[in-house]
Chains A and B, each alone.
Chain A
Amino acid sequence: MSKRVLLGLLLACGLTASALAQQPKTGGTINAVIQPEPPGLMLAQIQNGPTQMVSGNIFEGLLRYSPKLEPQPELAESWSVSEDAKTYTFKLKKGVTWHDGKPFTAADVLFSIEMLKQTHARARNNLAQVEKVEAPDDYTVVFTLKQPFGPFLGIFEVGSMPMVPKHLYEGTDWKTNPYNNAPVGTGPFMFKEWQKGSFIRLVKNPNYHEKGKPYLDEIYWQVIPDAAARSVAYETGKVDVLPGGSVENFDVPRLSKLKDTCVTGAGWEFFSPLAWLWLNNRQGPLADKRVRQAIMYAIDRDFAKDVIWNGLGKVATGPSASTIKFYTDDVKKYPYDPAKAKALLKEAGYKGEKIRLLPLAYGETWQRWGEAVKQNLQDVGMTIETIATDVAGGNQKIAEWDYDIAFTYLYQYGDPALGVGRNYVSSAIAKGQMFNNVEGYSNPEIDKLFADGAVATPDSKRKEIYEKAQKILVEDVPVAWMLELQFPTIMRCKVKNLITTGIGVNDGFKDAWLDK
Chain B
Amino acid sequence: MILAAFNLIRSPSEMLSFVAQRVVKGVIVLLAIVVLNFFLIRLAPGDPAVVMAGEAGATDQVFVKQLREKFGLDKPLPEQLFIYVKGIATLDLGFSFRQQAPVAKLIGERLPATLLLTLTAFAISLALGILFGTFAARFAGTFLDTGITVFALIFYAMPIFWVALMGILLFSVTFDWLPSFGYDTVGGNYTGLAHVIDVAKHLIMPAMTLGLFFMATYTRMTRASMLEVKRLDFVKTARAKGLSDAVIQRRHVLRNALLPVVTLAGVHSGTLIGGAVITETVFAWPGIGRLMYDALLQRDYNLLLGVFVICSAMVLIFNLITDLVYRLVDPRIEFAS
- Interface residues in chain A, defined as those with a beta carbon under 8 Å from any beta carbon in chain B: 29, 31, 36-37, 39-40, 42, 45-49, 120-122, 124-125, 175, 180-181, 195-199, 201, 218, 220, 222-226, 228-229, 232-233, 235-236, 238, 389-393, 395-397, 399, 410-411, 422, 428, 430, 432-436
Contacts and interface: CB of A to CB of B under 8 A. Distances in A.
Given A48-B56, A197-B110, A198-B183, A392 B45 contact: yes
B46 A395 contact: yes
B180 interface: yes
A125 B64 contact: no
B61 to A, nearest CB: 6
Contacts of B256: none
Contacts of B44: 392-393
A396 B58 CA distance: 15
Given A228-B165, A228-B168, A232-B181, 17 more contacts: A39-B99, A122-B56, A124-B60, A175-B100, A198-B286, A222-B284, A235-B173, A236-B172, A236-B180, A238-B186, A389-B45, A392-B51, A392-B298, A393-B45, A432-B64, A434-B54, A435-B54
Contacts of A40: 99-101
B181 A229 contact: yes
Contacts of B187: 29, 31, 201, 218, 220
B109 interface: yes
A183 B298 CA distance: 24
B290 interface: yes
Interface string B84-122: 000000000000001111000010011001000000000
Contact of A430 (B57, B61, B285): B61
Contact of A228 (B51, B57, B282, B290): B282
A428 B100 contact: no
A198 B199 CA distance: 13
Contact of A390 (B46, B57, B59): B46
A121 B172 contact: no
B63 interface: yes
A400 to B, nearest CB: 9
B55 interface: yes
Interface string B24-66: 0000000000000000000011111011011111111111100
B142 to A, nearest CB: 39
A303 B329 CA distance: 65
B182 A198 contact: yes
Contacts of B62: 121, 124
Interface in B222-243: none
Interface in B144-181: 165, 168-169, 172-173, 176, 179-181
Interface of B: 44-48, 50-51, 53-64, 70, 98-101, 106, 109-110, 113, 165, 168-169, 172-173, 176, 179-184, 186-187, 280-287, 290-291, 294, 297-299
B59 A428 contact: yes
A226 B46 contact: no
A396 B64 contact: no
Contacts of A122: 56-58
Given A29-B187, A47-B55, A226-B281, A238 B64 contact: no
Contact of B100 (A46, A195, A434): A46
Contacts of A195: 183, 286
A435 B98 CA distance: 19
Contacts of A433: 50, 53, 59-61, 64
